[in-house]
Each structure stands twice: as structure tokens, then as C-alpha cells.
Amino acid sequence: MTEPAKLNEPLGELTFLGKDADSVGGNCPSVFKTSRGSYVVQGWKIKDPDAMAQLKAAGMPDWEDAVEIPANLVRLFDHG
């Protein structure tokens, strides 16, 4: 696999869509939409080596990372 060229392009304007109301301190997790039509998710780093190994085995490339978010944030994504 080759790293997609768009990873080196600017994300553009980030529009805050919402955050987890149950977050301690009110800082995280959060969802943003970019001006290029993608999403940025701020979540909890996955520190579980078994979970990361499963993601890698499922095909997650080295230039990607994964974070965990609570299910209540899914409502913030477009479902059109």
C-alpha cells in the first residue's frame, strides 16, 4: 500500500460539531468536519496492544492511527 497523496494536503477549515457531554473536563472526545468533506475525530488513544494488533491484522497501514470514541458521538456524523 502507498500513502495517499491527500495526507500531505491541508485539511482546510475545521468546523466543531460537538463533544462527548460526559467527558471529564469537557475537552475530549470531539468531532470536527473539514472543509474538504472529511472528519477529524479527537478521541482516546488506543493503548491496548491486542486491539492495535487486530487493527493492523485487519489492514490498518502504518500511516493511519486509531482512537476510541463513545457511541454517542456517532450522531454527529452525516448519515445522508
Instruction: Determine the pLDDT at residue 21.
Output: 83
Name the residue with higher pLDDT: 58 or 9: 58
Rounded Cα distance between 43 and 15, Å, is 16
Strand ranges (E), 1-80: 14-19, 30-34, 39-42, 44-45, 67-68
The pLDDT tens digits for 24-56 are 776 789 999 999 889 999 999 999 999 999 999
Q: Provide the terminal-to-terminal Cα distance of the chain, rounded to the nearest Å.
A: 30
The pLDDT tens digits for 62-79 are 999 999 999 989 988 876
Is the predicted pLDDT of residue 80 greater than 60, yes or no?
no
